[in-house]
């Protein structure tokens, strides 16, 4: 199969559960924002910001390390076994520690009176971290369908339980004549409130781990300490880069809850978190692409035309990202109703965050140069560089302009990392990216967006029609310029 067509196929298979799950979670946004206040949703937003940090910390780069050492070591089973044992030990210790000190931790992270949140999330994080290496093994072995099936079940459980607790149970609880009221009242307490989002996640994570038991039990367990040390030397720079990456992705929500006045901190965090979800479509594509692209890049690295292929992949990636940016912004007339009215003052962050995540995706594409050359410390340096920008700009802007400062800090951070990575990559592993074409796609999409803001009318329907005509115009121009160059995906 043509390598680009194979990548597209793998992206679709790996991405299906991610796309469907993220979209369905996206559809849960109105459920949350119409049922919970911005302050309550701010707790949810802050909690998952901490989760992102801790998941990176507890997986400590082992997924990428598994891909790397499965290519270089003869005994792949030993690599996998060593990784599993390592993650099991660290995840178990984390759950025990967080559970023992849950009261202190809940006070420190502004979850006063809810130490149970800490225990629930400790189990979620520990379980997901341990499961991550089994999911990585499925990717490494090309078992995309099993990967997709388990991910889909996890997502369906999580979403189904959210609907069950927040809609069904609440409805039965409020219906005194329901024959199910006695049973529902035995498992449902309205005072738990936002906690049912966390409980749903907890149940889904535990069941997912059970589904992965064939990958966990059917292993001849051997822990090779020498191999583990070598793997850790490779993975620790990835851990540092991952933690710095989480600073760039989620620290803003944590800082908003600490740097803004206590009365409004969680409210503003909730507004920002809800509007951030509107830009989730870009994140979905970047994450989906990453699932398929990372093993693809490693497996294709020995081909003589590898660098040409990487350049072509970047072209396709930027075209799709530009379409996502335009498609979202040109349809904001109706997309805005996915969040409750109290959250809509935060909508101006959406185009900024869409562009920011596009630049993050471009940075990920470029990152193959330091992964293939084994110079993962550069990944750490670049992401730390971005983290410094994130921290400084958030500390300066949040007290002055609130969540708008966080959005601009995210854009500047990812743009800076992207540019720095390009110049370093040119020196160590040069890929001849078509910069004029790439910036042409991005520039055209941003220009059309600005045109759409100028030609606004008093009719929402007319605005939608005009905006989508501009979107169709973008597709037409890209096809006219590059239609023939896009043909490789269609061969054989």
pLDDT category of residue 249 using cuts at 50, 70 and 90: confident
pLDDT category of residue 299 using cuts at 50, 70 and 90: confident
Kindly state the helix (H) or strand (E) to which residue 24 belongs, with its residue range.
helix 3-35
Asked if 312 contacts 360 with a C-beta cutoff of 8 angstroms, the reply is: no
pLDDT category of residue 492 using cuts at 50, 70 and 90: very low
* Cα gap 346→369, rounded to integer Å: 37
Residue-wise pLDDT tens digits, 92-145: 999 999 999 999 999 888 887 889 999 999 999 999 999 999 998 888 887 878
pLDDT for 356 equals 95
Least Cα distance to 426 among 319, 311, 321 occurs for: 311
Sign of torsion over alpha carbons 324, 328, 329, 331: positive
User: 168: number of CA atoms within 13 Å, CB side?
Assistant: 11
CB within 8 Å of 361: residues ≥ 6 apart: 282, 285, 286, 289, 317, 321
Quick one: angle between helices 195-211 and 144-163, nearest 10? 150
Asked if 227 contacts 368 with a C-beta cutoff of 8 angstroms, the reply is: no
Q: For residue 489, is pLDDT > 50?
A: no
Looking at the chain, the whole-number percentage of residues with pLDDT higher than 90 is 48
pLDDT for 447 equals 94
Kindly state the helix (H) or strand (E) to which residue 437 belongs, with its residue range.
helix 435-454
Phi then psi for residue 230, to 5 deg, are -65, -40
Q: For residue 254, is pLDDT > 70?
A: yes
Lowest mean pLDDT among 192-196, 286-290, 320-324: 286-290
Q: For residue 424, is pLDDT > 70?
A: yes
Burial of 69 (C-beta count, 10 Å sphere; 0-12/13-18/19+): buried
User: 390: number of CA atoms within 13 Å, CB side?
Assistant: 28
* Cα gap 251→388, rounded to integer Å: 11
pLDDT category of residue 479 using cuts at 50, 70 and 90: confident
Q: For residue 376, is pLDDT > 80?
A: no
pLDDT category of residue 212 using cuts at 50, 70 and 90: very high
Residue-wise pLDDT tens digits, 190-199: 889 899 999 9
Burial of 366 (C-beta count, 10 Å sphere; 0-12/13-18/19+): buried
Q: Domain boundaries in the chain?
A: 3-490
Residue-wise pLDDT tens digits, 443-455: 999 999 999 999 8
Least Cα distance to 35 among 22, 46, 48, 44 occurs for: 44
pLDDT for 15 equals 61
pLDDT for 275 equals 92
User: 303: number of CA atoms within 13 Å, CB side?
Assistant: 14
Least Cα distance to 252 among 25, 48, 27 occurs for: 48
For residues 197-210, b (16+ Cβ closer than 10 Å) or e, as one string?
bbbbbbebbeebbe
Span 155-182, mean pLDDT?
Answer: 91
Lowest mean pLDDT among 63-72, 89-98, 316-325, 335-344: 63-72
Please name the residue ranges forming H helices in 330-434. 332-335, 349-366, 368-372, 376-401, 403-428
470: number of Cβ within 10 Å: 18
Q: Token pair for residue 370?
A: 């330091």
pLDDT for 178 equals 87
Q: For residue 272, is pLDDT > 90?
A: yes
Sign of torsion over alpha carbons 275, 281, 284, 290: negative
Quick one: angle between helices 349-366 and 306-329, nearest 10? 170
Span 418-433, mean pLDDT?
Answer: 90
CA 64 to chain centroid: 16
pLDDT for 487 equals 53
Q: For residue 257, is pLDDT > 60?
A: yes
Residue-wise pLDDT tens digits, 33-54: 988 999 889 988 899 889 988 9
Helix, strand, coil share of the chain (percent; to 5): 85, 0, 15
pTM for the model:
0.78
Least Cα distance to 286 among 3, 18, 9 occurs for: 18
Q: For residue 13, is pLDDT > 70?
A: no
Looking at the chain, the whole-number percentage of residues with pLDDT higher than 70 is 92
What average pLDDT does the structure give for the chain?
Answer: 87
pLDDT category of residue 76 using cuts at 50, 70 and 90: confident
182: number of Cβ within 10 Å: 9
Q: Token pair for residue 410?
A: 């995210």
Lowest mean pLDDT among 102-106, 244-248, 423-427, 447-451: 244-248
Q: Token pair for residue 239?
A: 């851990």
Q: For residue 355, is pLDDT > 80?
A: yes
* Cα gap 38→414, rounded to integer Å: 27
- 3-class SS at 163? helix
């Amino acid at each position: 199969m043509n390598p680009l067509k194979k990548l597209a196929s793998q992206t679709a298979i790996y991405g299906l559960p991610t796309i469907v799950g993220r979209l369905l979670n996206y559809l849960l946004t109105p459920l949350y924002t119409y049922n919970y206040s911005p302050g309550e949703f701010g707790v949810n937003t802050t909690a998952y910001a901490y989760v992102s940090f801790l998941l990176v910390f507890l997986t400590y780069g082992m997924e990428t390390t598994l891909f790397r050492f499965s290519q270089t070591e003869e005994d792949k089973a030993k690599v996998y076994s060593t990784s599993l044992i390592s993650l099991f030990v660290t995840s178990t210790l984390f759950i025990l520690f967080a559970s023992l000190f849950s009261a202190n931790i809940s006070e420190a992270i502004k979850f006063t009176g809810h130490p149970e949140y800490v225990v629930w999330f400790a189990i979620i994080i520990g379980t997901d971290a341990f499961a991550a290496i089994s999911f990585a093994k499925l990717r490494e072995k090309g078992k995309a369908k099993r990967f997709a099936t388990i991910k889909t079940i996890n997502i369906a459980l999580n979403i189904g339980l959210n609907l069950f607790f927040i809609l069904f149970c609440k409805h039965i609880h409020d219906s005194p004549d329901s024959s199910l009221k006695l049973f529902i009242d035995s498992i449902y307490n309205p005072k738990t409130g936002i906690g049912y989002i966390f409980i749903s996640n907890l149940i889904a994570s535990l069941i997912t781990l059970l589904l992965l038991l064939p990958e966990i039990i059917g292993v001849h367990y051997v822990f090779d300490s020498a191999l583990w040390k070598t793997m850790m030397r490779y993975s620790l720079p990835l851990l540092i880069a991952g933690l710095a990456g989480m600073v760039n992705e989620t620290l803003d929500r944590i800082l908003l809850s600490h740097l803004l006045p206590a009365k409004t901190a969680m409210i503003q965090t909730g507004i920002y978190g809800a509007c951030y979800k509107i830009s989730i479509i870009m994140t979905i594509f970047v994450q989906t692409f990453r699932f398929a692209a990372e093993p693809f890049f490693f497996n294709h690295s020995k081909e003589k035309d590898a660098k040409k292929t990487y350049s072509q992949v970047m072209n396709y990636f930027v075209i799709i990202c530009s379409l996502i940016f335009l498609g979202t912004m040109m349809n904001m007339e109706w997309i805005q109703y996915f969040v409750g009215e109290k959250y809509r003052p935060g909508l101006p962050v959406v185009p900024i965050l869409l562009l920011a995540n596009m630049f993050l995706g471009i940075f990920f594409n470029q990152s193959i140069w330091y992964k293939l050359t084994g110079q993962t410390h550069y990944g750490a340096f670049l992401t730390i560089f971005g983290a410094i920008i994130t921290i400084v700009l958030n500390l300066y802007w949040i007290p002055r302009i609130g969540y708008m400062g966080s959005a601009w800090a995210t854009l500047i951070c990812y743009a800076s990392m992207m540019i720095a990575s390009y110049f370093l990559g040119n020196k160590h592993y040069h890929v001849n990216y078509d910069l004029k074409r790439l910036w042409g796609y991005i520039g055209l999409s941003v220009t059309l967006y600005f045109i759409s803001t100028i030609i606004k009318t008093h009719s929402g329907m007319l605005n939608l029609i005009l905006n989508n005509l501009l979107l169709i115009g973008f597709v037409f121009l890209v096809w006219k310029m590059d239609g023939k160059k896009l043909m490789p995906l269609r061969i054989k």
